[in-house]
Amino acid sequence: MPQPRLDPAPRQYPPFVALLRRAARGPAAAPARTTADEIEAWLLREAIREDDMLPLYESLVWRLAAAGLPLDRSSVHVGTLHPQLLGFAWNWNRADGLCDEVKVGDLARQSDSYRRNPLYRANVYGESMRCDLSDPDTLARFPLMAELAAQGITDYIVLALGGGAYHNAVTIATQQTGGFSDAERATLERIFALFALHIERHIAQRIAGNVLDTYLGTAAGGKVLRGSIHRGSGEPIRAVIWVSDLRGFTDLADRLEGADMIALLNAYFERLAGAVLAHDGEVLKFIGDGLLAVFPFAAFGDEAQAAAASLAAAEAAMAAVDRLNAEPPPDLARIAGWQPLRSGIALHEGDVFFGNVGAEARLDFTVIGRAVNAASRVESLTKTLGRSILITEPVARRLDRPLDPLGAHALRGLAEPVPLFGLHR
């Protein structure tokens, strides 16, 4: 089921930053009193068992506060391997007691606010920096510093933590008059240098998860990351199966240059896969011009909701393709002879095996079963029947809306004809 969007209040984030999670344990996240030496010992021992960055970081910053260090604001910033993300960040502020986990979209690279932020040089060039917020030149150079100075921050430090090509970084800030003392800064730098090892551990796991989600899908990627890596491992599930195909693909591939065909397919799949994901389906595979997706019943409140989501996604996909035909983006507008794109989508219900299939050295996480084959056969009838969306009877029974009966049709490999339905005209 769709998760409600988190309200960032009392904080504000720019459009390219999305709040993912929030921790609000406050001082209870750490011992009431501790020392820098005890924090280092914790990082080398108990903290290793924590596999979630948000509570780990929250506990660290409150431990630093409990150790008497004048830390009033801090953040961790990490890069990642993802086509649409610049990275992730964790933001803590003593004033509101909150610790947020956010993702930063790739559009941040084009933002003036990001380029005029001390973090930019840390992320891009791996440079540490200290900002004196009593210096007018610093406030003029970095707009964020002027905002922090108005909040009472006196000293702001960016510590580059390495991280290979990603240049991870930590920021620390204080309201203490005169800023951090040399001894306080040295202590914080020493502790965060040790914490950087935890950051590397967590971001490596995050990158692995991002890669698996991008190439396998969220559900399949999560299963692989949790250890479902052996051939034959998986589970039977019941789902609505989506099979779609781009009509006239062979002709287009013959007429268009390779780069143009790739651009066209990317735009097409962005519309179809985007609709599936927006309605909580799982995109499993792109096969040439074809798309295989599922709407597992277990992921929804009941079977009717899964069926409704699959049809809503199909209608949204078709509408998106129509808009693409009518108003192509500039990179497609220059390509002649591809319009209009037409697609066929089949929705069928059945039991499938969701898991690892393939050779010992090369596996694929997918769904297989008679229901998948049937959905493929139904999709091939979309052109014959003149319907862009075909729905089999098991799915149609779960939909609370009028549909046009199109009769029963024989499908290769099935003993009985399958009743099909189309959208009501």
pLDDT tens column, 312-346: 999 999 999 999 999 998 888 888 888 888 999 99
Residues of CATH 3.30.450.40 domain(s) within the chain?
17-215
Scan for tokens 């800064």, then name that residue: 185
The share of the chain scoring above pLDDT 90, in percent, equals: 54
User: Looking at the predicted structure, is the pLDDT value of residue 217 above 70?
Assistant: no
User: Looking at the predicted structure, is the pLDDT value of residue 371 above 70?
Assistant: yes
In the CATH hierarchy, which top-level class contains the domain 218-423?
alpha beta
Give the pLDDT band of residue 1 (cuts 50, 70, 90). very low
Residues of CATH 3.30.70.1230 domain(s) within the chain?
218-423
Q: Can you give the pLDDT at residue 391?
A: 97
- β-pairing verdict for 389-392 and 418-423: antiparallel
- Contact call for residues 235 and 351 (beta carbons, < 8 A): no
| CATH code of the domain made up of 17-215 | 3.30.450.40
Give the pLDDT band of residue 271 (cuts 50, 70, 90). very high
Q: Can you give the pLDDT at residue 194?
A: 93
Q: Can you give the pLDDT at residue 97?
A: 96
- Contact call for residues 420 and 406 (beta carbons, < 8 A): yes
CA atoms within 13 A on the CB side of 329: 11
Q: Can you give the pLDDT at residue 352?
A: 85
As to burial, measured by CB atoms within 10 angstroms (0-12 exposed, 13-18 middle, 19+ buried), residue 424 is exposed
Cα–Cα distance, 193 to 182 (Å, whole number): 16
Residues in the chain: 425
What's the whole-model pTM score? 0.59
Give the pLDDT band of residue 288 (cuts 50, 70, 90). confident
Q: Can you give the pLDDT at residue 2?
A: 45
User: Looking at the predicted structure, is the pLDDT value of residue 296 above 50?
Assistant: yes
Q: What is the mean pLDDT of the chain?
A: 87
CB atoms within 10 A of CB 322: 15
User: Looking at the predicted structure, is the pLDDT value of residue 123 above 80?
Assistant: no
Give the pLDDT band of residue 166 (cuts 50, 70, 90). low
